[in-house]
Amino acid sequence: MIKAEHLSIRSVREGRLLIDDLSFVVNPGERVAVIGEEGNGKSTLLRALAGLPLPSFSVEGHLEAEQPIGYLEQDIKSLWGRTGIADYLVLLTPNEAKEEADYNLLAAAGSVFSRLGLPATLWREARPLASFSGGEVVKLGLAKILLRRPRTLFLDEPSNDLDLATMDFLQRFLLQVREPLVFVSHDVSLLSETATGIIHLEQWHGRKSPHTTYAALPYARYLERHSSSLDKQETLALKGQENLKAKEEKWRHVFDQVRYAQNQAVRDPTTGRLLKKKMKALLTQKERFARTKAALPEVPEKDVLLHLFFDEGSAIPSRKRIVSFHGPLLAPDGRLLASALSLEVIGPEKIAIVGKNGSGKSTLLKALKDQLASRKDLSVGYMPQDYAETMGEEETALDFLAEKGDEAERTKNRERLGALLFTREEMAFPLARLSGGEKAKLLLLSFIVKKANVLLLDEPTRNLSPNSAPRIHSLLRSFAGTLIAVSHDRVFLAACFERFYELTPEGLSPKENL
C-alpha cells in the first residue's frame, strides 16, 4: 500500500508551495498517474512518496510505502552514465561500496532481461550505460527494479525513449503488475490505457496558488469531470463577480450623489448631519463589499496552452534541397548501425524516423545536424534527448535566449517566457534547476527566436505534459519549414507527419503504418 495524509511540499529556495494538503491511498492492483504542467512538482512528489532525499524542499504530512520499493529515475544516464551494467543493476548509488554478496541478484538477470526484450546475456557486457540508447537505459532501469521484487512501484517517465514495440510491452507490464503503482508519464495513450487514478498538480495565479486533486478515476473520465468542474466553477465565480459589480456600480452612484449633496449643504447643519450618517453607512457597505469580494469563489485557471508561434521567416521554398545523406551509419564507438543509409529531403517536408531502441536514430539525427552545420542558407534548430548537449547548466533562460544581449531583447524575452508560465525567479535560475519539460519549452522558444527553418527534434514531446501536447502538435503542423523528428509518441506521430521511415541495420525504409 502507498498512503499519503495531508501531504504538503514547499520549495525552500523559492518559498513556493507546490503541493497543498494531498491525501490518497493506492492499493495493490491500482495504478495512479501524476499529471500536471512542467515544473509543477511531479517528480518531486514521486521522490517524496518513495522516501528519497529532497534537500531543496520541505515535506509535511504522513507518508507510507511498503518496502522494498522500486523507483525508476527520470534521467538515469546523467547519474549512472559511466557505470557498467552489472554494477548499475546491483548498486543503489554510483559511489556505493561493492559487496560480493550483492551480485547474487544477477542470477535472475537473464530471465528479467528476456522479459524486457533485452538479450539475456547483455548484463555481462562491460559497456557503460552512456553507450546505450535512451530506450535501452529505461529498460535497464526496469530490470534493476524487477530484480529486487519490489512491494511498491514508483516510475518517473517509464515511457521516455521507448520504441513502439517496447511501449506496447510497457503498457502490458503496467496492466499486469499487482504492486501499488504511482507513475509520471506524458504519453496520452499510456495514461488512457493504464491509469486507474489521477493526481493532478496545478498552479494558478501566476504559479503562486497550488491546486492538488486526487481522483480514483481513469484518465479520460477524470479529464471530463475536471473540465466540467472547471466550467461550473467558472460560471459560479463569474456570476458572483457580475452580481457584486452591479451592486458596486449602484453603490457608486449613490455615493457620488451623497458626496455632491454634502458639498452643497455646507450651510445646512441638519441636512449635513443626515448626509454624514448616510455617508458612514455607505462606507460600511463598501467594507462589506471588500469582504464579499474576498470570499467569492476564484475563477479557475484552465490549463494554459503554450503560446508559441513561428513567423514567416521560418518558411522553406518548396523545391529547396535540405538533406542529401548517403552511406553507412556508424555509432560513436565505431559500431556499424546501418550499412546503406539513404535520405533525401526536399522543401518543407515533415519526416518522422522510427525504429527499435539502439538502432541509431539519435546518431542519425546528430549526423544530419553536423552535415547542415556549414549551410549558410539554413537556420537549424536541434533538440537532443540530452538537453545538456546544447544548454549550459549554469546559464539562465534569459542567457540562453540572448542573441544581441541588449535590454530591449531581454524585455522581449521576459514577455515570451512569461507567456510560457515561467516565473521571474525561474527566468533567472541556472538551467540545471529547471524541469525537463521547462527545458523543452525553452528550446522550442529558442528556435522561434532564431527563426529556425529546419528543425531536428529527438523525442520532442518526451518531457511535455499531455496538456501541452495539442499546442505542440498545432505549432509543428503549422511550421512552414522542414521538420525531421525521432519519436515514439504515437499521438504526436499521427498528428504531425507526412512521411515515416524505419531505421534498420540495412538502412531507412518507408513505413506506411505505425
Condensed to tens digits (0 to 9), the pLDDT of residues 421-465 reads 788 888 988 998 888 888 988 999 999 999 999 999 999 988 887
Percent helix, strand and coil across the chain, each to the nearest 5: 45, 20, 35
pLDDT at 513: 67
Q: Is the pLDDT of residue 339 over 70?
A: yes
Question: Can you tell me the distance from the alpha carbon of 510 to that of 370, in angstroms, rounded to the nearest whole number?
Answer: 24
Three-state secondary structure call for residue 290: helix
Kindly report the average pLDDT of the chain as a whole number.
87
Q: How confident is the model at residue 480 (pLDDT cuts 50, 70, 90)?
A: very high
Strand partners, 31: 181
Nearest C-alpha neighbor of 35 from the set 226, 174, 299: 226
d(CA 207, CA 36): 12
Which of 362, 414, 401, 400 lies closest to 383 in space, CA to CA? 362
pLDDT at 48 over 90: yes
- pTM for the structure as a whole: 0.69
Parallel/antiparallel/unpaired status of strands 350-354 and 380-383: unpaired
pLDDT at 305: 46
CA 324 to chain centre: 34
* Minimum mean pLDDT range among 79-93, 417-431, 474-488: 417-431
What type of residue sits at position 481?
A: G
> What is the CB neighbour count within 10 angstroms for residue 309?
11
Query: Identity (one letter) of the amino acid at 104?
Result: N
| Whole-number pLDDT of residue 301 | 58
Q: Do the Cβ atoms of 471 and 495 come closer than 8 Å?
A: no
Please tell me the distance from the alpha carbon of residue 165 to that of residue 107, in angstroms, as a whole number: 27
- The pLDDT of 322-336, averaged and rounded, is 90
Question: How sure is the predictor about 143, in pLDDT bands with cuts at 50, 70 and 90?
Answer: very high
CA–CA dist 260, 333 (Å, integer): 87
- Quote the CA–CA distance of 268 and 260 in Å, as a whole number: 14
* Lowest model confidence (mean pLDDT) among 27-41, 144-158, 264-278, 318-332: 264-278
The whole-number pLDDT of residue 29 equals 94
Q: Name the percent of the chain lying above pLDDT 90.
A: 43
Residues 6 or more apart in contact with residue 144 via CB below 8 angstroms: 88, 89
Grid coordinates given for 477: 503542423
Task: Choose the most confident range, by mean pLDDT, from 235-239, 371-375, 415-419, 420-424.
Answer: 371-375
Sign of CA dihedral 165, 173, 131, 46: positive
